[in-house]
Structure 1
């Protein structure tokens, strides 16, 4: 079901839900510059089948959500996430953030703790820049050569026309998935076509990268977090090397870290059952009283 939310500054955010509103809510916060449909449909359906009310949405400046007039820092998308939770009447939600979305989730939990029941941080960081040439300010390692080289190729030869844009985007997903697992080109081509069909020109999603550059490191604030947290990080992540996940585990009280051999920055779609298993195990550990299996509904 699609349910648009209007933010306090008047932007409409596209949201989509899976499952029953009677179940505990799971908010999926996608990474930067891409819409919420990058969360695999299979993962959303698996979590709903486990007894969760799943919400994915388009950040401002992506997909079917509105476009901002000005640049901003991460506090704005964090406020948007809060408005999705309150606008849909979710109460307190389990929040799963991917990459940029993981940083949004961290800031949401810091600034609106009453809205967050638990955190899962996938391929994320406490300190990141949108400009890959700028090293993290806290001394964490920057992106690996595969990612830096891809950005350099795009800068030297920007794609022109729909087919070049498609090829460049698929190449980008290939880099993010990483070299250690099979790359399902047909899946990613179809996803890119769907993403392109949802967007409007001009593309303002680059404001997400600027938001990273405008946001100070979260490292010093994260010891104040008081929410069950699972960090999931790929050992082949070309954007945030594993040290970023290790740092999240170190600075967030009682956080647990699960490193996945062979995973890059984004998990391939056929790993949805594994990611679902990690998420559900964490939610069950965090809140055993939640009904996490389907049970008969009253007639």
Structure 2
């Protein structure tokens, strides 16, 4: 079901839900400059079938959500995520963040602890720059591959080395994302938001949320050292390294990702 949430500063955020509101909520936070539909439909449906109320949404400046009138940092996007949670009324929520969205999820858990039951951080980092040509400020390695490719080829670079590569799926996804009103001038503000946000490394030892870090061993954007650092600095975090996975997972891995997420959510529930 599609809906929209109006934030306190008047921005409308598009959201879509799967499953019953009576079930525990899972918020999916997508990566930078990408709308919520990049989360595979199959993953959303599988999580809902396991008894979760699943929410995916468009960040400000992406998809069908409003454009921001000015620049901001990742805390503003974490505040948007909080507004999605409170706007839909699910209470404390399991939060799954992909890449840049994982950094937003970390800030959400740090700044609005009462809204977060647990975290799953996919292909994420405690520190990144909007300009990927510059290495992270904390000494973590920068991207291993140039990020200046045509969109379809760039997607393949992000998914590699997983085979087979479903070219038709990704071309169709790029088409659907473009049709939602993606504007490079505004979505590029996400990269500026990264540059305006200090590294999170020093704050993460205060994070007391059950956390699963999932990182591809072939991640060309955030090499595996980024996942290792998250495991090191977040108390009691667990790390699952995915052999053969790049920065983003292909849709036919949705069953694998669903199993990892559900196992973590159930563990988190029993640990409380």
Q: Could you say which TM-score interval applies, normalised by the shorter chain?
A: over 0.9
Superposition map of 1:186-205 within 5 A: 186-199=168-181, 201=183, 203-205=185-187
- What is the distance in 2 between the residues matched to 1:174 and 1:20? 35
Q: 1:181 aligns with which of 163, 186, 205?
A: 163
Deviations 1:29-54, CA, capped at 9 Å, x for gaps = 00000100000000000000000000
CA distance in 2, matches of 1:199, 1:211: 20
| Structure 1 portions without partners, runs of 5+ | 155-167, 291-299
Deviation, 1:28, is 0.2
Q: Aligned residue for 1:234?
A: 216
- Report what 1:47 is aligned to: 47
8 Å Cα contact 1:177/1:265 also seen in 2: yes
Question: Take 1:131 and 1:23, find their aligned partners in 2: how far apart are those partners?
Answer: 40
SS in structure 2 opposite 1:4? strand
Does the 8 Å contact 2:97/2:104 carry over to 1?
A: yes
Q: CA deviation at 1:203?
A: 4.2
Match of 1:14, SS state, is strand
Tell me, yes or no, if the aligned pair for 1:61 and 1:203 is still in contact at 8 Å. Answer: no
Residue by residue over 1:255-275, the C-alpha shift from the partner in whole angstroms, topping out at 9 and shown as x without a partner, is: 000000110000011000000
Give the aligned partner of residue 270 of structure 2. Answer: 288
Structure 2 vs 1, CA of residues 13 and 140 (structure 1 numbering), >3 Å: closer, same or farther? same
The corresponding residue for 2:245 is 263
Equivalences, count: 272
How far, CA to CA, are the matches of 1:130 and 1:259 in structure 2?
A: 25
Aligned equivalents of 2:229, 2:106: Cα separation in 1 = 13
Give the 3 Å change call, closer, same or farther, for CA 32–200 of structure 1 in structure 2. closer
Aligned 8 A contact 1:127 1:137 in 2: yes
Give the match for residue 293 of structure 1: none
- 1:198 and 1:176 map into 2 onto residues whose CA distance is 22
8 Å CA contact 2:62–2:183 kept in 1: the answer is no
Distance 1:116 1:237, change over 3 A: same
- In structure 2, the gaps of 5 or more residues are none
The 5 Å alignment of 1:95-134 reads 95-134=95-134
Which digits, 9 at most, give the CA deviation of each residue in 1:214-243, with x for residues without a partner?
Answer: 100000000000110000000000100000
- Equivalent-residue separation in structure 2 for 1:23 and 1:288 (angstroms): 16
